[in-house]
Chains A and B, each alone.
Chain A
Amino acid sequence: MSSNSTASASAAKTRVPAAPHKQRSFMKSKRPAIPYLGWMLIFTIVPLVMVVYYAFTDSKGHFSLEAFENASVYSEVFLYSLLIALISTVICLVLAYPLAFSISRCSQRAQSTIVMFLMVPMWMNFLLRIYAWVLILQNYGPLDMILNFFGIDITLIGNSGAVIVGMVYEFLPFMILPLHTVMSKIDPSLIEAAQDLGCNRIGVFRKVIFPLSIPGIISGVTMVFVPTASTFLVAQYLGGTQFMIGDVIERVFQSDHHTGSAIAVVLMVVILGCLVFMNRFGDEEAVS
C-alpha cells in the first residue's frame, strides 16, 4: 500500500514539469473550437446546402431554374424590403452615432450603466415589443387620440413609416453597441494630439474620431441592415398589407420549398454583395 502511494507520488512528480507545456499547447490548440464547428456543420452548412439544392431543382429533383422564375414575381417586394432596410439603417446610424460618441466620453462606470440601460428593451420578447408598437400606433390608440385632439387626422399604422419605426426600435441597440465599443477605444491622447497640432472641435471629429470609428460604422450597419432586410413579423403587424421579403419567404416556403429557397438564395447573395462592397469601401477610407 505504502509502496503504491509513493509510486504514484513519484509519478505525479515526474508529470509536474510537463504540465505547463501541456497547458501552452492547449492554449494554442484549435480543438476548443470543435463543438461550435460541429454545430455549424449540422445546423448551418447542411441547411444552407439544402436551401441551395431546393432553389436549383424542381419538384422531381431535376436541375431547374423554374423556382427563380416563380420568385421573380416578388421582385417588387424584394426592392421594397431593401429600401426599408436601407432607410432604417440610416436612421439607426444617425441616431446612434452621436449617442455612442457622448457615451464614450463618460466615465467608465457611467458607460457600463448606460450600456446596460440600452439593453433593457432587449430583455423583453421580440413579439411583445412589436405588439406594444401596435397598441401605441393603432387607430384610437394613445398616439392617435393625442393627434386627433390637436386636429391631426392621419393613420399611424399599416404603412411603411410604422414598419421603419418598428425596425429602428428593434435594431437600434445593435448599431449603438459596436459604435460605442470602437469609440471608447479611441485613445483620449489622440484627441489631445489633434488639438495640440491645431484642430478645433470640428477638425478633431473630422480628422481623428470619424476615421477611427469607421470599423464601428461598418459592423453596426452590417448588424442592422442584414436583419432588417430579412426579418419577418414586423411588417405583418405594423405594415398592413405591404409585406416584406422575410414574410414572403415564410408564406411561400410553407407551400413551395423550391420557390421559397430561391428567394432566400437571392436575398443572401444580394446582402453578401452589399457587405463586400461596404468592407471594401471601409478599407479604402481607413487607408487614405
Chain B
Amino acid sequence: MTVTENPGQPNAAAPTPPAIELIGISKAFGPVQANKDITMTVAKGAIHGIVGENGAGKSTLMSILYGFYKADSGRVKINGVETEITDSHAAIAAGIGMVHQHFMLVDTFTVLENVILGAEDGPMLKPSLAKARKELQRLANEYELDVDPDAIVGEISVGFQQRVEILKALYRQAEILILDEPTGVLTPAEADHLFRILKNLKEQGKTIVLITHKLREIMDVTDTVSVMRRGEMTATIETATTSPSKLAEAMVGRSVIMEVEKAPATVGETVMEIKNLVVKDGQGVERLKNISFSLKRGEVLGIAGVAGNGQTELLEVLGGIRPATSGEVIMKGDSIDLTIKANAQKRRHRGIGHVPEDRHARGLVMSFKTWENTALGYHNEPEFSKKFGMANQKAMLADAQGKMERFDIRPPNPQLVASSFSGGNQQKIVLAREIERNPEVLLIGQPTRGVDIGAIEFIHQQIVKLRDAGKAILLISVELDEIQALSDRILVMFDGIIQGERLPENTDKNELGLLMAGVDPEAEA
C-alpha cells in the first residue's frame, strides 16, 4: 500500500495517517544499547501492545516518545507530521499522554491538584481547579473513570491512583495514551476495569499503546502487537493472527542453538525439598502461589518462564534475601529459616550458594576491587579474618588471584574495580566466588545475561562441572536455549505457579512456549 502524505491539505479520500510512526530509533545508555534501530507504526484508534521481557527496551522506547529521554538517532511522526519531541512538554503538545509504571503523582496533593499540575489555565489556581472539577465530572461519566476529586492521592488505592494518571492525560487532551506495565500493581478486578476503560477510550477514537510482559493482556485487548527483544523490535503482527506461544517464542527468541557437552546426569538423593511456598509482595499481590518441588544431587533443575512470573521471588526466598509468606523448605532433613530473620550469610553456612539475577545490584559492589568482591559475603570466614575482627587482606588478595586464574577472568588483576570488567568477566567473578565455596546447592539466576558468547560457553562448562561433582543446581533463566541445553529436568513457571514439568529430551520449544504462556498443551489436547 502506498500512502501519499500531504499533511498540509487534509484530504477526505486519503487514508488517515498512522497516529504514531517511529523510524529508526536508537538509544544507548553508556555501553548498553537499549534501543536498536526501531521502526514501528501504530494506526489511529488502535490498541497496540508492546511485549518483551524486562530490560528489552520497551520502557525506554516509550520514554523517548514521551520526551523523557532523547533518542541518539531516529525520527518520530505523529499523525503523519514529523514531530520533534524534545521534552515532555512537546509530547503533551503533540497529544501524547503517558501513564508511567511508577506513578508521577504528588501524594500530598488532592486528585484535582494533581490533574491540573502543569496544565493550569492561569497564574491563579481557583479558576483552574473549578474548570478541572467540571471536566473531571464529564470524563468520569464518559469513561467510567470516577475518582473523588478532593481525595488526597496518597490515601487512595493504586487502582484509583492509576485512574488519576489516565485522567491527567485526558485532561491534557491526549489523543495517544501510553501505558507502561499498567497491571503490575493492580488486582485482577482492577485490571479488568482498566481494560474496559481502555476499550472505551478506543471507541472514542483514542490511540493506545500498552506496554506489558503479560501475554494474556495482549491477547485480550490489543489489535496489533510488537515484540521487543534485547533492544530490537523482532516482530509486529496483528493480534488475531498470533497465539501466546508464538509471542512467547518471539520474546524469548530463537538464538543460535547452544550445545553443551555433558555426560548423562547421575542423580542422587533429594537435597532440597520446597513445600507449598507462598510469597506476597509489598502490595499484597501473590507472586508465588503454593509452589512445591524437589532438588536432587547431581542434577541441573532448570526453571523456564517469561520474566516476571515469580522466578525472581523464588530465587530470592531460597537465597535468604526475601521472606516467604508461608510454606516450608527442607534441606537434608532440617527446615530452613524463611522468615525475615533469614539472611544470605546463614544460607551460605547451610551450603546454599547464590548467583543473583542482577549482578550489578546484587552480585557485586561495582566500585569495589575484585579481591574485595571475591571475598564479599565470606569476609567473616576464618581464612579471611585476623584477630580483633580485622580483615586478612593478604589472604583475600591471594584467593582472588587464584580465582582469576582458574576462571580465566581478564585482565587478571585483582586490584581492578568490578565496573572495569566486561559483563562476562563480571559474571565470572560472581561465579568463581560462589562455585569455589563448593556449595551443596547452587542457585543461579540468568547466568549469561549480557555475557559474550565465549564467556557463555565457559560459564556453562563450570555449571556442568559442579553438577558432575554431585551438587544440586537450580538454574533460572529466561533464555529457553540455555534451559534446554543445561537442564536435566525443566519446570515452567507462569503467574506464580509451576505450569508444568518436562524432561528436555521429551519436549520442544513449542511445548515449552505454550507452557510459558500459561497454556497446558496436554490439558488442551
Q: Do A and B bind each other?
A: no
* Chain B residues engaging chain A, CB cutoff 8 angstroms: none
